[in-house]
């Protein structure tokens, strides 16, 4: 791109109207920001209130007194620590396996010549259109048949493969100059070494983006874990929170404390690695374009 982005070109008329326009824009954006943050503030405020404070009118965003005990009550009522561990274990496994299986396949599609390559790739691509919900019921039946219901296998194995990740990585791998792996091949490197020592190290940005995308998707996934887990031993954070809601229907102080507990780690990481998150979701969301 040789052209100057519109955003950074110097404005030609920095007059009074310009400054007023800017102020109005800031005012509108700040108002929007307040609207975006209000649900978070409301969640946090409620999580620190006592039940009588919750059911008073008008509602306040400032808890008085601050009831920290709600958090203790929440983790005693529901094993959120266990849910964290489950979520972490599932998300790390899914991300690792998905990137491993997908990058190997993407390497074959991008770099190796074999019979049926184009046809197989088309078959892969064709299934990208099919929503997960179509395969959900047979997968559930398969999981029961394998006696994997309510185990980590059910949560991890079916999502350890991704047609989308194969597609994304293949597009990226094809952008890497072929001369690099041909040179390595001349030096006697095996395909496996070329994958591990040439292609993968050169794919840092797309791998980082994909990692964030897959990890976040797995961490926040709801429908599949809801279908295949049935005890606190396997429930992930979203399913655990939904179960908690089922049992403490009107204890809003506890439910909001649970929500804070569920959101806090992701939001913290997000605040400190905002750029990576946005890049990861944008790049993956755009299918690598």
Partner 1 sequence: MTAQTAPAPQHIAVSRWRRYRPDQQWEAYLFLLPSFIGFLVFVAIPVVASLALSFYDWNLLSPPEFVGFENYSQLLTNDRVFRKVLFNTFYFIVTIVPLQLAFGLLLAVALNQGLRGLEIYRLIYFMPVVTTIVAAALVFQWFFNRDFGILAAAIWEFGATTGLPIQPPDWLNDPDWAKPAVVILTLWKNSGFTMVIYLAALQGVPAELYDAAKVDGASGWQRFRFVTFPMVSPTTFFLMVIQMIGAFQLFSEAFVMTQGGPAQATLTIVYYIYQMAFEFQRMGRGAAVAWVLFIFIFIFTLVQTRLQRRWVHYETGGES
> Which helix or strand (DSSP H or E) is residue 273 part of?
none
Q: Residue 73 CB, nearest distance to partner 1 (Å)?
A: 17
Q: Residue 126 CB, nearest distance to partner 1 (Å)?
A: 10
Q: Residue 273 CB, nearest distance to partner 1 (Å)?
A: 10
Q: Residue 238 CB, nearest distance to partner 1 (Å)?
A: 4
Q: Which is nearer to partner 1, 52 or 69 (CB)?
A: 52
DSSP state of 159: G
Q: Cα separations (Å) of 234 from 34, 86, 99, 141, 163?
A: 37, 6, 23, 18, 26
Q: Which is nearer to partner 1, 32 or 81 (CB)?
A: 32
Q: Residue 129 CB, nearest distance to partner 1 (Å)?
A: 7
- The span from the CA of 195 to the CA of 192, in Å, is 5
Q: Which is nearer to partner 1, 64 or 182 (CB)?
A: 182
Q: Which is nearer to partner 1, 14 or 72 (CB)?
A: 14
Q: Which is nearer to partner 1, 67 or 216 (CB)?
A: 216
Residue that is written with structure tokens 């964030």 in the block:
212
Torsion of Cα atoms, 191 then 193 then 199 then 202, to 10°:
-170
Phi, psi at 110, each rounded to 5°: -90, -30
- Asked whether the bond before 58 is cis by omega within 30 degrees of 0, the reply is yes
Cβ neighbors of 136 (< 8 A, separation 6 or more) are 223, 224, 227
Q: Provide the token pair at 145.
A: 């048949």
Q: Residue 204 CB, nearest distance to partner 1 (Å)?
A: 20
- Asked whether the bond before 121 is cis by omega within 30 degrees of 0, the reply is no
Q: Which is nearer to partner 1, 66 or 112 (CB)?
A: 112
């Amino acid at each position: 791109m040789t052209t100057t982005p519109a955003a950074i070109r110097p404005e030609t008329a920095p007059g009074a109207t310009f400054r007023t326009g800017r102020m109005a824009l800031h005012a509108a954006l700040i108002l929007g920001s307040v609207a975006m943050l209000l649900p978070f503030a409301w969640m946090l405020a409620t999580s620190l209130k006592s039940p009588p404070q919750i059911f008073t009118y008008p509602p306040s965003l400032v808890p008085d007194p601050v009831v920290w005990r709600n958090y203790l009550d929440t983790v005693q009522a529901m094993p959120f620590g266990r849910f964290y561990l489950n979520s972490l274990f599932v998300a790390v496994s899914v991300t690792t396996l998905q990137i491993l299986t997908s990058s190997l396949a993407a390497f074959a599609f991008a770099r190796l010549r074999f019979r049926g390559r184009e046809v197989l790739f088309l078959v892969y691509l064709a299934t990208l259109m099919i929503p997960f919900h179509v395969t959900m019921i047979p997968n559930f039946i398969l999981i029961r048949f394998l006696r994997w219901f309510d185990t980590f296998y059910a949560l991890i194995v079916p999502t350890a493969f991704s047609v989308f990740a194969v597609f994304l990585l293949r597009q990226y791998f094809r952008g890497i100059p072929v001369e690099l792996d041909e040179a390595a091949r001349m030096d006697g490197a095996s395909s496996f070494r070329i994958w591990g020592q040439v292609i993968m190290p050169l794919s840092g940005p797309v791998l980082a983006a994909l990692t964030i995308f897959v990890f976040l998707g797995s961490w926040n996934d709801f429908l599949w874990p809801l279908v295949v887990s049935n005890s606190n031993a396997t429930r992930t954070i979203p399913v655990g929170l939904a179960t908690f809601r089922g049992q403490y229907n009107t204890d809003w102080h506890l439910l909001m404390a649970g929500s804070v507990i569920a959101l806090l780690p992701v939001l913290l990481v997000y605040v400190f690695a905002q750029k990576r998150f946005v890049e990861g979701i944008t790049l993956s969301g755009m299918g690598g374009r």
